[in-house]
Homo-oligomer: A and B are copies of this chain.
Amino acid sequence: MEKEVPETGYDIPARPSNKPMIEAVEVDLPAPSLLDNTADLDRLARALYQKGFFPLQLSPGKMNEFVRKMRQNDLRFRAVVGYTGTAWEVLDLIAESPDVPVLGFGVDMGTSTLVLRLVDIACKKIIREVPVKNPQAAYGEDILSRIIFARDAGGLEVLRRLLLEACSDAMEKMLKSCGASALCVYALSCAGNTAISHFLWGLDPSNICREPYIPAANTFPIVRAAELGFDFLPNALLYLFPNVGSYVGGDIISGVIAAGLNRSNDVRMLIDVGANAEIVLGSCDWLLACAGAAGPALEGGVVDRGMQAMAGAIDSVRIDRKTLEPQFGVIGGGKASGICGSGLIELVAEMFSSNILNIQGKFNTRPDCARLRNTPDGPAYALALSSQTGDGFEMLISEVDIGVFLKSKAAMYTILSLICRKVGLKFYDLKNIFIAGNFGTHIDPEMAIRIGMIPDLPLETYRAIGNSSLLGACMLLCDRTLLAEAEKVRNMITYVELNVNVELLNEFRGALFIPHTDPKLFPSVRFPQDGPQ
């Protein structure tokens, strides 16, 4: 299921003045002589030192190969060097001609999905993107089950190998599909939550979920990828984003960097809806993170016919105000298999605006609606007819489904509201809110506002950023200053625990309504009784 990428690739947003993590440096050495009998590798080191690459590291296993290549190429070649934060490692010596590309992989190691991008580092272009299921899910859909499984004898190793092999397989296929050699891959940049980072490294994650929630490691050395088992990438370094702690992983740090929160003078917000809803608020001066269980419903995981935003998912819905007949869009075209988060948002918004639902999310009794069904679970709306679905059954969205969904949207609004109040900010202080993930790519902010899921701000405030964790990982490949920036972000972020207290419950109860019990919070939203919207 390779993602379509334009022929020319697409650009990674990078500050052009900053240099990439990996560089192919032109080297043209003077011939050795009796007067200058510096040893081959010292000659190489001297040339790189003169170009600013110092201190330099060479791995013992490479030295003979380098000496041979130096002499084979008559001392004119490109030295591929990789930055390790404190030194430069010589990764390869390649021909002078620029035909040999300098490649890297960005990897977002998600709980349910691994997304990999093949990056041309020198050109700062993404040339392939592939998502694959995280095969660890066989040992638990949620991360907690996997941490518990890892405590069994051999469990950690099973999870590590699954992750390693899934990534390796995907990488090999991507390289094959563009005719590139694994020898041209010089860097992997990976970001994941704290537990998955532990799995990749083969580190015991037990204490992540035991008070006082101490991970084994939050920062990881930069190593040769082969040291972690990527044997088919003998020339690559592996960068893994550091974690803040058990609750805030490297994927969040990577996302913060992608959204530029840490480089912004005004306060920005990043909303990442994955297995959890994870929010970061802040600027170049401070950063606050929190997480809440708002995710699954929004990603389509809880509702009966819910699914992720992929081919076959209904992702947009319009309902005729008079006939109450729906029109919908299906990702990839064809028949519908289910409905994703953004589809649900639009469905609920349209059902509300069409006066099918009241502000409590209950069905109004409208005998003249041909799409209403009575089911053992109560009333339901037939979004797709049997002729429009893949399985030949009508797609029904019941009052129970909508109730479940409203809890998620209320959780989301509550979290956003509480985190802003924590720092004494009003929503309108925010000029930029980045919505990450598949969810963010498909969501229509106007619809999300209409149901009261996100604050009622000018639509241009909201910006879809895609997979921010993956984007940050790819940006790191192309901008080595981000290595220090990631460490800085890690030290800046404060994690805020959202305690279940009276304040939160009151907020939540109000937010369960469409859009809210307090309509003043959503001045732009027109109610059905106000006339058509």
Residues in chain A within 8 A of chain B (CB atoms):
32-34, 37-42, 45, 55, 57-61, 63-64, 67-68, 86-87, 201-204, 207, 211-219, 221, 223, 227-228, 243, 245-246
Contact = CB atoms under 8 A, between A and B. Distances in A.
B227 A42 contact: no
A402 to B, nearest CB: 38
B212 A63 contact: no
A87 to B, nearest CB: 7
Given A68-B204, A202-B64, A221-B58, A215 B86 contact: no
A227 B60 contact: yes
A528 to B, nearest CB: 48
B246 A37 contact: yes
Given A86-B55, A221-B57, A221-B58, A214 B64 contact: no
Nearest to A238: B60
Contacts of A221: 57-60
Contact of A201 (B63, B207, B227): B63
A64 B203 contact: yes
Contacts of A34: 211-213
This protein's copies in its complex: 2
A384 B412 CA distance: 102
A223 B60 contact: yes
A214 B39 contact: yes
Given A37-B212, A41-B216, A68-B204, 10 more contacts: A32-B212, A37-B214, A37-B245, A39-B243, A45-B219, A63-B203, A63-B216, A64-B202, A64-B203, A64-B204
Residue among A32, A37, A202, A227 with max Cβ neighbours from chain B (10 Å): A37
B212 A39 contact: no
Contacts of A33: 212
A384 to B, nearest CB: 48
A201 B62 CA distance: 11
A488 to B, nearest CB: 15
Contacts of A57: 221
Contacts of A42: 217-219
A215 to B, nearest CB: 4
B60 A214 contact: no
Nearest to A211: B34
Contacts of A203: 63-64, 67
